[in-house]
């Protein structure tokens, strides 16, 4: 039990007090996590995941350690980031749209972008997935739906990695595209119907609740594990904030959303990857970030440490 001079009558578990405070043990290799996380995983548990760049690192290490990570559409380049060819999903809106289109309720006004010069067909809702023709795009997406449904219904644990709150929204039907990028944008495609904005706490919580409801309808035994990506924004589209403040706003908002979402459901859990990278790692005197041109990413050593804690928390040997 831990104690302090200020709260002499109180007794706290070691994970309830700041490491190294007063006469309490300093932070060591293991993150001070509650003793009963409530989620058990072994190497037979079917696990799926989606999210941003950090989700790709989780995927890589689960596969590398021999866990039953769901790999649909292994032939598709976009599946390297997740359990199906969802590509990278940076916000809760695009995650919700994946669940909606997988189970039949996502019908945007503009489904495909046709690049003005090359006529390349681009999927606005999945980052940089390109086709030579509209027929090829539709056929591949129909195949994708089968794999997406398989991944989301076979999983017994789905890991969602929340990335940022900045979105690009269709002004008319309110769908959210992945990013304004790729050949359609570079070749001067019409972007007038889309607007940039910062999403806020209630709507991000609403997106997660919508995902939860869809999952309960189609895979009621599945549990959700929520993380916040420790990868910071490389750039912000905001003109009222610097990139560091914008990144902090995204992460803080999503961390608060995750906290309430987890507290609302007994079968939803939070894994503190963000705290391990940005606080634990720095308290240990180490920088969690890569050097060089991608210094907003988390270095492999820090990711390995985070996943070691994951295995210690949740998995049975």
Task: Give pLDDT, residue 54.
Answer: 86
CA–CA distances in Å: residue 172 to residues 21, 32, 125, 192: 53, 47, 16, 11
Select from 234, 198, 237 the least CA-distant residue to 91: 198
Per domain, the residue ranges of the chain are: 34-107+143-175+196-314
Pairing of strands 166-170, 113-114: unpaired
> Can you give the pLDDT at residue 8?
67
Q: How many residues does the chain have?
A: 317
The tens digit of pLDDT for each residue in 267-287 reads 999 999 999 999 998 888 888
CB of 198 closer than 8 Å to CB of 83? no
Cα dihedral 224→228→230→232 (10° resolution) = 130
pLDDT for res 83: 97
Cα-atom radius of gyration of the chain, to the nearest Å? 21
Closest CA to 48 of 218, 207, 169: 218
Over residues 58-81, the pLDDT tens digits come to: 999 999 999 999 999 989 999 999
DSSP states of 135-181: HHHHHHHHHHHHHHHHHHHH-SEEEEEE--SEEEEETTT--EES-S-
**Rounded mean pLDDT, 283-297:** 86
Write down the pLDDT at residue 29.
81
> What band does 28 get if pLDDT is binned at 50, 70 and 90?
confident
- The residue whose two tokens read 């945007």 is 108
Q: Which residue in the block uniquely carries the two structure tokens 């489904």?
A: 111
- Model confidence at 317: pLDDT above 60: no
Q: Output b/e per residue, 142-169; b: 16+ Cβ within 10 A.
A: eebeebbbbbbebbbbbbbbbbbbbbbb
Cβ atoms of residues 236 and 59 within 8 Å: no
Structure-block tokens of residue 242: 């610097």
- Whether this prediction's pTM lies above 0.85 is answered by yes
pLDDT (tens digit, 9 = 90+) per residue, 142-162?
999 999 999 999 999 999 999
- pLDDT at 206 (0 to 100): 98
What class has domain 34-107+143-175+196-314?
Answer: alpha beta
The percent of residues in the chain predicted with pLDDT above 70, rounded, is: 96
Average pLDDT of the chain, as a whole number: 93
Note the pLDDT of residue 232: 92
């Amino acid at each position: 039990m831990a104690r302090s001079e200020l709260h002499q009558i109180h007794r706290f578990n070691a994970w309830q007090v700041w490491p190294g405070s007063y006469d309490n043990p300093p932070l060591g290799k293991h993150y001070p996590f509650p003793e009963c996380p409530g989620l058990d995983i072994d190497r037979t548990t079917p696990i799926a995941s989606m999210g941003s760049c950090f989700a790709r690192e989780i995927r890589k290490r689960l596969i590398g350690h021999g866990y039953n990570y769901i790999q649909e559409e292994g032939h598709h380049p976009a599946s390297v980031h997740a359990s199906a060819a969802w590509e990278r999903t940076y916000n809760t809106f695009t995650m919700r749209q994946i669940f909606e289109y997988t189970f039949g309720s996502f019908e945007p006004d503009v489904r495909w972008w046709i690049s003005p010069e090359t006529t390349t067909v681009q999927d606005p809702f999945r980052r940089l997935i390109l086709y030579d023709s509209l027929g090829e795009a539709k056929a591949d997406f129909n195949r994708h739906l089968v794999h997406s449904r398989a991944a989301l219904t076979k999983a017994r644990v789905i890991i969602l990695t929340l990335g940022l709150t900045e979105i690009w929204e269709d002004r008319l039907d309110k769908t959210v595209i992945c990013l304004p990028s790729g050949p359609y944008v570079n070749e001067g495609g019409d972007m007038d119907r889309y607007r940039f904005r910062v999403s806020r706490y209630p709507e991000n919580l609403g997106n997660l609740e919508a995902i939860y409801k869809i999952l309960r309808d189609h895979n009621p035994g599945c549990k959700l594990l929520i993380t916040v990506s420790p990868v910071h924004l490389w750039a912000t589209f905001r003109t009222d904030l610097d990139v560091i403040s914008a990144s902090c706003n995204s992460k803080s908002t999503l961390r608060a959303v995750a906290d309430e979402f987890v507290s609302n459901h007994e079968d939803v859990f939070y894994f503190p990857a963000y705290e391990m990278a940005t606080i634990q790692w720095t308290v240990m005197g180490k920088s969690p970030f890569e050097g060089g041109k991608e210094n907003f990413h988390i270095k492999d050593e820090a990711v390995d440490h985070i996943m070691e804690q994951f295995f210690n928390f949740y998995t049975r040997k």
